[in-house]
Amino acid sequence: MSYFNFASRIKSKRILPIVVITCLILCGGILTGARIHGFSFASWHSAIDGSPHREVFFSKVNRYRTDDWIVMLPHMLAQRADQPPFAAENRLIGDGHYNMLITCAAPARDPMVLFRPQVWGYFISGDIGMAFQWWFYVFGTWIAVWLVLRRLTGNDEWTSACGATALLFSPFFQAWSLNCTPTVIFACGTLFSLAQLRTTRSTFQLLLSAVLLAWFGMAFLLTFNYLPYLVTLFYCIVFVFTGMAVRAHGPGPADNREAPRRHIHWPSRTRWACALLAVLCILGLGAYMAASNWETIAIIRNSDYPGQRLSSGGDQTIWHLFRGNVLSIKPPPAWRDFNPCEGAAFFLVFPLVVAALLRDWWRTRKPPHALLLGIAGYITFLLFWNLTGFPELLSRWTLMNRAPPFRTLIGLGIADILLLSVYVSHRQQLTPASHKDYVTPWIVSALWITFHVVLGIKFSRYFPDYSINTALIGGLFAMALAPLLYLAPRLVLPAIMLAAILTTYDVNPLARGGTTFIQENPLSQKIRTIDQETKNQGHQPVWIAYGDAALPNLFRMIGSRALNGVHAYSQFELWKTLDPEGQSRPVYNRYAHVVFEVPPVPDDFKINLVYNDNVAVDLHPDNPRFAALNVDYLLCLDNQVESLDRVAKLKKIYSYAGRHIYRVEHAP
């Protein structure tokens, strides 16, 4: 090959990422401009009046995605509805000074929003914000994983594209409506920046890599509002980068083989200095964030949930980890104590890859590349944590006690894709085998098939209405991957990619907009009219919603203040009014959906923990504690009307679609 042809190939490899990324950004921009997204936000139709989901034009909404349409999106839209908008403390939620910088990645007028690009669209409009956030999740994840895989596989374009697509459409990612993707995007960006900083020979790229490392590292750190993912993927970065950095066995699949050109050989101490400067920027900004919000951070750290949700690991089983190999193809009709989110997982094949690695090592007498060992080490690390656990001291000092094993599955799924991708790419560079072996692949395949038969039997006994035949059919795809890995290894990732797409393409809906309905439905219009009339009298009205977990969160989206709803951390000023002596503090000292119920008699007051994140308050309007809350209006469902109609100080002023508004007549 001539020098000019070789140089042309290298140039195309540099231009390709720019072209691909530009095209995807343009596609995301068009879809965002059209206000198209994949959230189940249209579920609010069912919660408000049961009207048709007119915004949805593909698939259907999933009401179990409450993390989206009840929790996250109302928080985002509350920032637009508050006055002034986008304040760091929202006045519409809870006790009226609700910290929006710590509870979630919400749009706020604060420097930290520069590191939370997923929320930038909300500064334009609510619909644009939802669309921008969704496509940032989709295209951001694909681009970030693709760039990392290109780096790890030595620019193996086919393998990298299939791996990124397989991960994006994995049952785990799709069932959770991509809510984990910001952590994944920023973790991949951090890893990629570290790799570039270690190897780049251009002055500009060295400085750019340091800047990107600081930005991605800070963005990654700011996903601390869900620590299990942050901790899990931090160790993914550590193990993978260590494997990339070790060069005991010469160049491997992570190297970018480029044409010789003039460059500066930066000494390692200069690279270390750039990396140190980036780390200091991350720590400095992190310290600023912590210091300026320490009161809220302390409340969350000392909460019973999630603050004191500590683990020493070891509470998972093999069938928990590999459930995706069977249930992804044929999900059970009923999930028992799971739900479609908790039951979703990945197609895991790392045992097959490790067996193939050991076989290649024996046949070639050449140990696997350090990168493969680093990824395999990370998988081993997670397996120990899931199946046996760590000593308490080790789990505390590694911060793994903040990552319950069932939440570390995300790391196992990502590592599985990385290991398979690097192995397939690296396999082409193997030295000729010194030993022939035709038996081992069939032994491994037989063991793999047997394992999935046992797994199918286990699932058929655990899930109701899930027969052994259905379970075995679900596992056939995973069984076929074993012989495929030995006969045609480059087809394994495309097979997983196609299976993932075919099983998850309709999990999430495609919808256009949705905030117009929230603002213009008759119930919301009446609430806003009442609010405006009361404000004209110089008073900000206070609302409570009875008997429903969703409706309290409607108020914050339309600019009204409600005491209950989702509280990402305990609103102690509110609870002090209801529980002055703090007797029920362990119940409400947590992240919670706060739901008010009407007890049979006024004196029957209770604060109950229904679930880890669900607190029910039995509070009668005639109870003195209710008067202390200074509530102006109630919103309730049909099943509370009979009880509330008998309360003298309540006057029903509006009814719509089984939702009723009462005015509280305060004593003069």
Answer whether 633's CB lies under 8 Å from 664's CB. Answer: yes
Distance CA 598, CA 544 (A): 12
- Rounded to 10°, the helix 203-221/227-245 angle is 150
> For the residues 332-350, what does the mean pLDDT come to?
88
Answer whether 325's CB lies under 8 Å from 478's CB. Answer: yes
Number of Cα atoms under 13 Å in the Cβ half of residue 276: 6
| Parallel/antiparallel/unpaired status of strands 659-664 and 650-656 | antiparallel
- pLDDT level of residue 259 (50, 70, 90 thresholds): very low
Q: Is the pLDDT of residue 354 over 60?
A: yes
Q: Specify the higher pLDDT residue, 266 or 99.
A: 99
Instruction: Identify the three-state secondary structure at position 438.
Output: coil
Distance CA 253, CA 156 (A): 9
Distance CA 550, CA 548 (A): 6
Answer whether 76's CB lies under 8 Å from 47's CB. Answer: no
What are the CA-CA distances from residue 624 to residues 94, 145, 463, 604 (Å)?
Answer: 20, 57, 48, 12
Distance CA 522, CA 528 (A): 10
Tens digits of residue pLDDT in 555-579: 999 999 999 999 999 999 999 999 9
> For the residues 351-380, what does the mean pLDDT come to?
92
Q: Please list the helix, strand and coil fractions of the chain in percent, rounded to the nearest 5, in that order.
A: 60, 10, 30
Tens digits of residue pLDDT in 165-186: 999 999 999 999 999 999 999 9
Rg (CA), the chain: 27
Q: Which residue has the tokens 């007498």?
A: 365
| Parallel/antiparallel/unpaired status of strands 542-545 and 633-637 | parallel
Q: Is the pLDDT of residue 606 over 80?
A: yes
The number of residues in the chain equals 668
In b/e form, how buried is each residue of 391-417, taking b as 16+ CB within 10 angstroms?
eeeebeebebbbbbbebbbbbbbbbbb
Beta strands in 364-447 (DSSP E): none
Answer whether 147's CB lies under 8 Å from 312's CB. Answer: no
Residues 6 or more apart whose CB falls under 8 angstroms from that of 613 comprise 305, 590, 591, 592, 593
% of residues, the chain, pLDDT over 90: 79
pTM: 0.93
DSSP at 534 = H
Q: For CA atoms 394, 397, 400, 402, give the dihedral sign.
A: positive
CB atoms within 10 A of CB 95: 17
Give me the pLDDT at residue 199, please.
Answer: 86
Give me the pLDDT at residue 249, please.
Answer: 43
Give me the pLDDT at residue 430, please.
Answer: 65
Tens digits of residue pLDDT in 275-306: 999 999 999 999 999 999 999 999 999 999 99
| Parallel/antiparallel/unpaired status of strands 592-597 and 614-618 | parallel
Q: Any idea which of 245-249, 325-329, 479-483 has the lowest mean pLDDT?
A: 245-249
Answer whether 568's CB lies under 8 Å from 307's CB. Answer: no
Q: Specify the higher pLDDT residue, 524 or 612.
A: 524
CB atoms within 10 A of CB 494: 17
Q: Which of 68, 76, 60 is nearest to 41 (CA)?
A: 68
> For the residues 422-446, what does the mean pLDDT come to?
81
In b/e form, how buried is each residue of 453-491, taking b as 16+ CB within 10 angstroms?
eebbebbbeebeebeeebbbebbebbbebbbbbbeebbe
Q: Any idea which of 69-83, 464-478, 523-537 has the lowest mean pLDDT?
A: 464-478
Q: Is the pLDDT of residue 456 over 50?
A: yes
Instruction: Kindly give the residue spans of alpha helices, DSSP state H, lying in 38-169.
Output: 44-48, 66, 73-81, 100-103, 126-153, 157-168
φ and ψ at residue 550, rounded to 5 degrees = -85, -50
CB atoms within 10 A of CB 533: 10
User: Is 174 exposed, middle or buried (CB count within 10 Å of its CB: 0-12, 13-18, 19+)?
Assistant: buried
% of residues, the chain, pLDDT over 70: 93
Tens digits of residue pLDDT in 623-641: 999 999 999 999 999 999 9
Give me the pLDDT at residue 267, please.
Answer: 65
Tens digits of residue pLDDT in 142-153: 999 999 999 999
| Parallel/antiparallel/unpaired status of strands 98-99 and 89-90 | antiparallel
Average pLDDT, the chain: 91
Give me the pLDDT at residue 3, please.
Answer: 43
Show the tokens assigned to 107.
């749009």
Instruction: Kindly give the residue spans of alpha helices, DSSP state H, lying in 293-349.
Output: 294-301, 318-321, 324-327, 340-343
Give me the pLDDT at residue 266, please.
Answer: 59
- pLDDT level of residue 339 (50, 70, 90 thresholds): confident
Distance CA 540, CA 218 (A): 38
Tens digits of residue pLDDT in 235-251: 999 999 999 988 544 44
Q: Is the pLDDT of residue 329 over 70?
A: yes
Q: Which residue has the tokens 């076929």?
A: 480
Give me the pLDDT at residue 150, please.
Answer: 95
Distance CA 306, CA 404 (A): 11
Distance CA 156, CA 161 (A): 9
> For the residues 601-610, what does the mean pLDDT come to?
92
